[in-house]
């Protein structure tokens, strides 16, 4: 669904984040980056992730929040443990999810990628509903950006090695990619 030129997917909750901007020039979108997130770390549910992506995380509610509250980050999409999905940034805009990153010699992956966060941790298996929803959303994204082939889907750990570890060893890459 396109609203004012922005690409918002149907059947997801739209929760706009201010942490995005225009992609540079005519940069083609040709990479999908898979992440994981839980706030506080290791805890699922609640509104902390949404608050974080919308710059309204209360630093007084958890010691970890005091560290991260000043950061301005976002992802295009978040998939909760029960499979519910939220979209924070239109697909055509640049979300601030990858940070310092490089894919196949190209720096600054935010410029040409879409980021999907899975609610989880590196060492917690993801739910069946998350994989089902991830497959649905990946196919929807590929319909808008056919250059995102299975070979152009990667983990945050692969584009920021040594700095990031997600989606982690519990993410079943084979299961996901074989079903695309």
- Which residues are annotated as catalytic? 117
Please give the structure tokens belonging to residue 56: 């309204």
Q: ω into residue 73 within 30 of 0, thus cis?
A: no
């Amino acid at each position: 669904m396109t609203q004012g030129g922005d690409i918002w997917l149907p059947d997801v909750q739209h929760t706009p984040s201010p942490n995005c901007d225009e992609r540079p020039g005519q940069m083609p979108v040709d990479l999908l980056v898979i992440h994981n997130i839980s706030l506080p770390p290791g805890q699922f549910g609640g509104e902390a992730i949404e608050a974080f992506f919308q710059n309204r995380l209360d630093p007084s509610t958890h010691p970890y929040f005091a560290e991260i509250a000043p950061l301005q980050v976002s992802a295009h999409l978040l998939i909760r443990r029960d499979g519910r999905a939220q979209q924070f940034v239109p697909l055509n805009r640049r979300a601030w999810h990858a940070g310092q990153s490089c894919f196949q010699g190209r720096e600054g992956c935010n410029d040409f990628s879409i980021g999907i966060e899975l609610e989880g941790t590196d060492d917690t298996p993801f739910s069946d509903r998350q994989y089902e929803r991830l497959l649905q959303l990946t196919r929807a994204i590929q319909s808008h950006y056919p250059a995102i082939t299975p070979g152009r889907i990667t983990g945050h750990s692969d584009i920021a090695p040594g700095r990031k570890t997600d989606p982690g060893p519990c993410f079943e890459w084979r299961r996901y990619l074989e079903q695309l």
